Amino acid sequence: MSRNIKLCSGAQAVRKFQRAGWATVRQKGSHVMLTKPDYQWTLSIPQYNELGPGLLRKLIRQAGLTIEEFNRP
């Protein structure tokens, strides 16, 4: 079981969260907002070339995913 987060761009992160059931609702500036029905969080993903490991870990936790689920291709 790997606990290492594979770093990715903001666009790649959006695609990974969409595969997990999140939907893009809008973009404000450089941030894409994702929601999921009946879920308390709105994910705000900056469209950077590379997201830092701390930010990715926070977004994964808020989305209710494990690192392994997020890292799947």
pLDDT digits (tens, 9 = 90+) for 8-59: 999 999 999 999 999 999 999 999 999 999 888 899 999 999 999 999 999 9
Provide the pLDDT for residue 72.
85
* pLDDT over 80 (residue 73): no
- Assigned token pair, 61: 């936790």
**Domain covering 10-71 in this structure, CATH number:** 3.30.920.30
Integer-rounded Cα Rg, in Å, for the chain is 11
CB 43 within 8 A of CB 59: yes
> Which residue, 71, 73, 66, 72, is CA-closest to 7?
71
Spans of all domains in the chain:
10-71
The Cα–Cα gap between 37 and 1 comes to: 29
